[in-house]
A and B are shown apart, each in its own frame.
Chain A
């Protein structure tokens, strides 16, 4: 009975984790702006990874495998925010402007840059073969 319950919980966690991973990826594909995409990607990094690892830990029971899975979870728990912070800091440093909702930027899309350097980055992206 207990094994059945643990199995049920584990499958639920695995399926929900896979679903949240797919939702995060869908958001990352559909969101209009780099910073909103960042927000969507955090779903995959936190809830998706956490639920899948929790499901695997429930399958493993109290073994060394569960400890390794917990170590992976701890690694993702710390590396996700570090990578996210570094990404946003680098993007802001290069002058990538966030998409704002005020009327002044009504015609602007996600490819708006605040500085000339950022505009140069965009030009470089659009025409990579240009010398």
Chain B
């Protein structure tokens, strides 16, 4: 049954990966990446139970924290429009 849950999570991750590759805007890609991170946390927890090694839960916790920090950092980068410097220069000239 753990294997079934892992299979479902792997299907989920592959679908999300397709959206991350296809996604028309950068926000679609970020949304898919964030959800892949959530699924990876769950996948690590289930793998820990499947192999009988509860140490995987610590990895899952750390991965969840890193996922949150990474997503918020990238979004802050986009929200403050540091990537828009090129457009501002074009408007100025």
Q: Bound state CA distance, A56 and B25, in angstroms?
A: 36
Interface bin, chain B: 35 or more
Interface of A is mostly: helix
Q: List the count of A-B residue pairs having beta carbons below 8 Å apart.
A: 165
> Which residues does chain A contribute within 8 Å of B11, judged by CB atoms?
22, 25
Beta-carbon contact of A117 and B84 below 8 Å: yes
* A82 in contact (CB, < 8 A): yes
Instruction: Tell which of B67, B75, B78 touches A79, judged by Cβ atoms closer than 8 Å.
Output: B67
Q: For A24, list chain B residues within 8 Å (CB).
A: 12, 35
Q: Is the CB of A87 within 8 A of B42?
A: no
Find out whether the CB atom of A76 lies under 8 angstroms from the CB atom of B15.
Answer: no
Measured as residues with beta carbon below 8 angstroms from the partner, the interface class of chain A is: 35 or more
| Cβ-defined contact, B31 with A86, below 8 A | no
Given A75-B65, A89-B79, decide whether A44 and B25 contact each other with a Cβ distance below 8 A: no
Quick check: A22 and B61 within 8 Å, CB to CB? no
Interface string of A65-86 (1 = CB under 8 A from B): 1001101100110011011001
Complex contacts, A125 vs chain B, CB 8 Å: 24-26
Shortest Cβ distance from residue B3 to the other chain A in the assembled complex, whole angstroms: 10
User: Which A37-65 residues have C-beta < 8 A from chain B?
Assistant: 37-38, 41, 44-45, 48-49, 52-53, 55-56, 59-60, 64-65
Interface mask (A1-33 → B, CB under 8 Å = 1, otherwise 0)? 000000000010011011101101110110000
Show 14 A/B contacts (Cβ-Cβ < 8 Å), sorted by A.
A17-B42, A18-B4, A24-B12, A28-B32, A29-B15, A44-B38, A69-B45, A79-B64, A80-B38, A86-B76, A87-B30, A87-B75, A90-B79, A125-B25
